[in-house]
């Protein structure tokens, strides 16, 4: 059990808690100041039979949640349910204001890999807000596994400064992109966890 009174004595909580505060914009929306913001409790959308990049999982960060120094930490994993021949699949992490996720900024992309049934993809990364506002900026890093057999060695990548509008609702999405549209090309999202941590002010 969290021992809230311990805060007054300067001692740590028994375990961490996520707190929400009014961000002061007047709309009543709340701001995560630390902890888990999203964890899907069921499989995400299955992406199949299409060469249009499709959303596997998405979490919308409310407008004005992020400030300079905020971090968005994400964890994602999914599985190839079925595949056709030598068709390839890549997965991507996107962030932006458009409700069409494939139109948003490509933060990271895996390689396009010739997959087999039960292959997996994994993402573990962090986006750090450098400056906030309608012309805000961010940088990012991630460790990821291309869609491949379990145990494939992970890779690392870094995203140099890119634009982000923290005054608008931001969609953080995991997407998938097949090389060929076929009824046997199916992949989904099994895990999508997002933590948002804002600095002390």
- Residue located via tokens 């139109």: 103
Q: What is the pLDDT along the chain (201 residues), one digit of tens a residue?
A: 333 333 334 444 444 444 555 544 444 545 545 688 999 999 888 999 999 999 999 999 999 999 999 999 999 999 999 999 999 999 999 999 999 999 999 999 999 999 999 999 999 999 999 999 999 999 999 999 999 999 999 999 999 999 999 999 999 999 999 999 999 999 999 999 999 999 875
Q: Which residues pair with 49 in a beta bridge?
A: none
- Extents of the domains making up the chain: 32-197
Predicted local confidence at residue 199, as pLDDT: 86
187 CB neighbour count, 10 Å cutoff: 27
- Strand extents, DSSP E, the chain: 19-22, 30-34, 36-39, 47-48, 54-61, 71-82, 88-96, 105-109, 113-114, 120-131, 136-148, 155-164, 170-178, 186-197
**pTM attached to this predicted model:** 0.83
Record: fold of 32-197:
Jelly Rolls (2.60.120)
CA-based end-to-end distance of the chain: 27
Contacts of 10 by beta carbon, 8 Å cutoff, 6+ apart? none
Predicted local confidence at residue 115, as pLDDT: 97
**Phi and psi of 8, rounded to 5°?**
-70, -20
Predicted local confidence at residue 28, as pLDDT: 52
Predicted local confidence at residue 11, as pLDDT: 42
Predicted local confidence at residue 88, as pLDDT: 97
Predicted local confidence at residue 126, as pLDDT: 98
Predicted local confidence at residue 45, as pLDDT: 86
Predicted local confidence at residue 70, as pLDDT: 96
């Amino acid at each position: 059990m969290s021992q809230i009174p311990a805060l007054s004595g300067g001692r740590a909580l028994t375990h961490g808690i996520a707190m929400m505060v009014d961000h002061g914009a007047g709309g009543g929306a709340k701001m995560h100041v630390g902890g888990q913001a999203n964890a899907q409790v069921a499989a995400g959308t299955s992406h199949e039979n299409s060469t249009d990049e499709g959303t596997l999982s998405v979490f919308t960060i409310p407008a004005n949640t992020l400030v300079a120094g905020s971090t968005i930490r994400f964890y994602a994993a999914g599985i190839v349910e079925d595949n056709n021949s030598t068709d390839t699949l890549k997965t991507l992490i996107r962030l932006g204001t458009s409700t069409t996720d494939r139109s948003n900024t490509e933060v990271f992309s895996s390689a396009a890999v010739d997959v087999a049934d039960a292959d997996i993809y994994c993402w573990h990364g962090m986006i750090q807000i450098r400056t906030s506002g309608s012309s805000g900026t961010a940088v990012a890093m991630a460790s990821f596994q291309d869609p491949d057999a379990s145990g494939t060695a992970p890779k690392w990548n870094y995203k140099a400064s890119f634009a982000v509008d923290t005054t608008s609702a931001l969609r953080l999405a995991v997407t998938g992109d097949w090389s060929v549209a076929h009824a046997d090309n199916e992949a989904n999202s099994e895990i999508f966890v997002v933590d948002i941590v804002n600095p002390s002010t």
